[in-house]
Structure 1
Amino acid sequence: MNDDDPGVPEAGTYAVDFRDGSVGQVMGCEGGLVQLRPLGGGREWDCPPEKVGQALPGEVLRERVRLVNREGRLP
């Protein structure tokens, strides 16, 4: 957890956006919002700190498997 805000996971860790269940890597906080990046890379999104929590290892693994499966389906 982040020392500045104990409810926000630290940068570099993985978190869940409770609004839709998305898993992302915590990039930092800016403007009072937590910035998350998809595990496979891509555009960051902002999440209110009260709507984000640390991702469990199983949630991170499940997202990684989704990415591998999606890549396997590409032509």
Structure 2
Amino acid sequence: MESGAWVYDQVAGAVGEFKGNAGPYAMVRPVGGGREWQADPADLRLATPAERLSAGVRVANDRARAGVAQPVPDLSRPPEPVPRCVACALLARERRKAQGRFDHSAVTDANVLLRRHLWQDHP
């Protein structure tokens, strides 16, 4: 497993970010931050897209309840893809290809699609 991969701990029943190994244990960090926990590597598997989405929504809801303001996007700058998100990576790749062709219309389209994806799937 790569460091940074989102995993599901079957014993804890929680999604977290794999940070590395510490002796015979895997170190997992809660999504959104917090104290790492140790898990048996045999009890970990890659999190499904639904589990990843659910964990991300839970973190966003917790932050909203705590009164942490969400930043307003700066539309004058291109959107940044979320690390380890396949859809974000594909859209960012399309944007880079369009930039290489100097196709500014396609660059704008990719930015719009990436912003829409970020808004819908990464609240």
The TM-score with structure 2 as length reference comes to 0.51
Are residue 43 (structure 1) and residue 49 (structure 2) matched? no
How many pairs were matched up? 67
Tell me the residue number matched to 2:5. 13
Q: What is the Cα-based RMSD across aligned positions, in Å?
A: 1.1
Q: Structure 1 CA distance, aligned partners of 2:7 and 2:21?
A: 13
Give the helix-richer structure, 1 or 2. 2
Q: Which has the higher contact order (CA 8 A, sep 6+)?
A: 1
Higher Cα Rg, which structure = 2
Could you say which residue in structure 1 is the equivalent of 2:51? 59
What is the percentage of aligned positions where both structures have the same residue? 37
Identify, as 1 or 2, the structure richer in strand: 1
Q: Which runs of 5+ in 1 are unaligned?
A: 1-8
Runs (4 or more) in structure 1 with deviation over 3 Å come to none
Aligned equivalents of 1:65, 1:59: Cα separation in 2: 10
The amino acid across from 1:11 in the alignment is S
Gaps in structure 2 of 5+ consecutive residues: 68-123
Aligned position for 1:3: none
> 2:89 maps to what in 1?
none
